[in-house]
Amino acid sequence: MTPTELKENTRLDPATGEYRVIAPGQTFKSVTEKIVRIVLTPTTPLGWFALFGVAGAVATVLLAAMTWLFLVGVGIWGITQPVAWGFAIINFVWWIGIGHAGTLISAILLLFKQSWRNSINRFAEAMTIFAVVCAGMFPLIHVGRPWLAYWMLPYPNTMTVWPQFRSPLLWDVFAVSTYATISVVFWFIGMVPDFGTMRDRSQNKVAQYLYGLLSLGWRGSVRHWARYETASLLLAGLATPLVLSVHTVISFDFAVAVLPGWHTTIFPPYFVAGAIYSGFAMVLTLAIPLRKFYHLEGLVTERHIDNMGKVMLATGFIVAYGYGMEVFMAWYSASHWESFMMWNRMFGPMGWAYWVLITCNLAIPLTTLWSRKLRTSMPFMFFISIVVNTGMWFERFVIVVTSLYRDFLPSAWGTYRATKWDYMTYVGTLGLFTALFLLFVRFLPMIPMSEIRMMLPGAKIGPKITPKTTAKAGD
Amino acid sequence: MPAREGTYGLLAEFDTPSDLVRAAQQARNDGWRRMDCYTPYPVEEAAEAIGFHRNKVPLITLIGGLMGLSAMFAMEVWVSVLAYPLNIGGRPLYSWPAFIVPAYEWTILFAGLSAAFGMLALNGLPALYHPLFNAPNFRDGATTDKFFLCLEALDPKFDLVEAKKYLQSFQPISVVEVEY
């Protein structure tokens, strides 16, 4: 055997032939040290500063775009009649979809007892929260007078006006705010025991004090752990229907309208699958450089990348079914408007966007992700993740813009052209997201230590009684 | 400020979860009740061993969820029928199917918050001071790689010398006295 083959073999589990979830030879101590050292190091890697500088600079672009928006109004964007929902709604749906993979990993895979998810669940959840931060901003700034956004909430006011509970747009307010709240709570509760570890491992007084506060005084009593495990399971059980409902409600925003291209019953499942598809792509975009940069190959192994590739393959096919159904219904409905919409979407002036989406979401990933060799190749998976994220952005562009700009009456047709402010806002949120994620990686434990410890061989409870002389000295 | 003086308990340190579970099981069988185990990750067997089988988190979550459900549904009906009736596409004022979605979201919101904060409250957290943190070896291992069994002084069987000897019989790494 050549040395590379030997090395390869230790990464494979002989029992299953699959890649191992955790590289062999890890102990409670080594795992803890590995994860804690990333945060409690006195020297921040230069690469982190460089990236944070770039991300911060890009986020500044968002600040500039927002300032101008607040001063002038939404007229600075490309939105007009008939395309009143432009980049803001595209980006809202794109970002919140990305967030969904984090909840899927932390909640649904927990319920299915997929313990391989333990290594990636913390940063996937962090990704969810930062994606929701970016997403939540868009509807607020899109309302035109964001300082009055609280009018969406039901509260007693001097105008004696109340919200209209039959509108999917109001349902969105409750769906997204609940999603943001529950995601933050789930994330924080998950980190409490790890904050305890950080408090106990740090040598620095300030760090001890801050992590001590965050840990809420966690001391690892098994009674506490039992309630904690119940609460985690319940939160996972609650987050699962929640995450499915959030993108369903968002798809109602479209599906409830009578517009051809929006008015379809396929939207809820197709939106949810698309959300998970793009979200897993974003997890890969983050995980592949992270494991390399922080040398976490022993904890985030080829198995994780491989499994995420499989999930993407499955959700990619659901998305493909959605696209196919849209085309089929355009023909089968025998509706003139539906078939024109489809023709216009494919071959109209913005037809190129449709073909970008088909290439990025179907042609490239769904032909290549079948191969395990490619699924475990880091450069290829990173490439695929970028491709799918691009494709999913174009999917939302196609749904929003190509349905709106040519509806029923040709006299009402128009076009859509995004302005530099649209692009600045979008690119700015990418910077904000990256900056928040870098702060998370630097200051919080990015891999759940307590959950990794549970999977180590040392956690096995040995046979009940090994005859030891247990003299009853206490009696 | 410590509320009490004297000894909180005796803390035995173990290297493996199996040793801890065995010791806890034995102590329970020998009649000890005021005791607790401390582990760096959830060890269900240890909770079972000290006789902790059920908890109230699910009940609290259920109550929270029902409160969220009824609060939102009641508000929707009150707003749509009484406070601000609007004719939306000729639909009835009490159009309950449309009210399901926000009520569903609030069920999850209240249930989730109840699960999280209920768990913390039942655990007595946040509690930034605890006598165990006075033990010299506790913070070194309890959240990293060591397993602890604490026999508390409140147990009627507790006697400093005897209990120490008893814990030694499990061959732990160390047994230390924890002060308030």
- Residue where one domain finishes, among candidates B105, B122, B139: B122
Q: What is the rounded (10 degree) CA torsion for A287, A289, A295, A297?
A: 50
The total number of structural domains in chain A stands at: 1
CB neighbours of residue A322 within 10 Å: 18
In chain A, which residue's Cα lies nearest the Cα of B51? A223
B106, part of any domain: yes
B139, part of any domain: no
Question: A32: domain CATH number?
Answer: 1.20.1630.10
Instruction: Examine the domain organization and report whether B102 and B68 are in the same domain.
Output: yes
The total number of structural domains in chain B stands at: 2
B47, part of any domain: no
- Residue-range definition of the domain harbouring residue B19: 1-38+151-180
Instruction: Examine the domain organization and report whether B28 and B65 are in the same domain.
Output: no
How far is Cα B69 from Cα A187, in angstroms, rounded to an integer? Answer: 24
Taking CB atoms and an 8 Å cutoff, what residues of chain A touch B80? 165-166
- Residue-range definition of the domain harbouring residue A423: 28-457
B136, part of any domain: no
Whether B88 sits inside 8 A of A164 (CB atoms) is yes
Instruction: Examine the domain organization and report whether B64 and B94 are in the same domain.
Output: yes
Whether A226 sits inside 8 A of B109 (CB atoms) is no
Instruction: Examine the domain organization and report whether B34 and B64 are in the same domain.
Output: no
CB distance from A153 to chain B under 8 Å?
no
A469, part of any domain: no
Task: Give the tokens for residue A89.
Answer: 């709604």
Instruction: Examine the domain organization and report whether B66 and B116 are in the same domain.
Output: yes
Point out which residues pair with A133 in neighbouring strands.
none
A93, part of any domain: yes
Closest CA to A271 of A110, A96, A136, A145: A96
Q: Which residues 40-79 of chain B have a CB within 8 Å of chain A? A: 40-47, 50, 52, 55, 57-58, 61, 65, 72, 75-76, 79
A156-167 CB burial, b ≥16 within 10 A, e <16: eeeeeebbebbe
Whether B169 sits inside 8 A of A197 (CB atoms) is no
Instruction: Examine the domain organization and report whether B13 and B66 are in the same domain.
Output: no
B94, part of any domain: yes
Which residue in the set A222, A231, A245 is minimally distant from B119, CB to CB? A231
| Model ipTM value | 0.92
- Residue where one domain finishes, among candidates B79, B101, B122: B122
Contacts of A167 (CB under 8 A, 6+ apart): B88
Q: What does each of the 475 residues of chain A score in pLDDT, given as a tens digit?
A: 444 544 555 677 776 777 777 777 778 888 888 888 888 887 888 888 999 999 999 999 999 999 999 999 888 998 888 888 888 899 999 999 998 888 888 888 888 877 778 888 888 889 999 999 999 899 989 988 888 888 888 998 898 899 999 999 899 999 999 999 999 999 999 999 999 998 888 888 888 889 989 999 898 898 999 999 999 999 989 998 999 899 899 999 899 888 888 888 888 898 889 998 998 999 899 889 888 888 888 788 888 888 889 999 999 999 999 999 999 998 998 988 889 999 999 998 999 999 999 999 999 999 999 988 899 888 999 999 999 999 999 999 999 998 888 888 889 888 888 899 999 999 999 999 999 999 998 889 888 888 888 888 777 776 654 444 444 443 3
Taking CB atoms and an 8 Å cutoff, what residues of chain B touch A461? 17-18, 21, 43, 45
How far is Cα A62 from Cα A125, in angstroms, rounded to an integer? Answer: 23
A328, part of any domain: yes
A393, part of any domain: yes
A5, part of any domain: no
B44, part of any domain: no
Radius of gyration of chain B (CA): 25
Kindly report the pTM of this predicted structure.
0.88
Instruction: Examine the domain organization and report whether B111 and B166 are in the same domain.
Output: no
A372, part of any domain: yes
B4, part of any domain: yes
B129, part of any domain: no
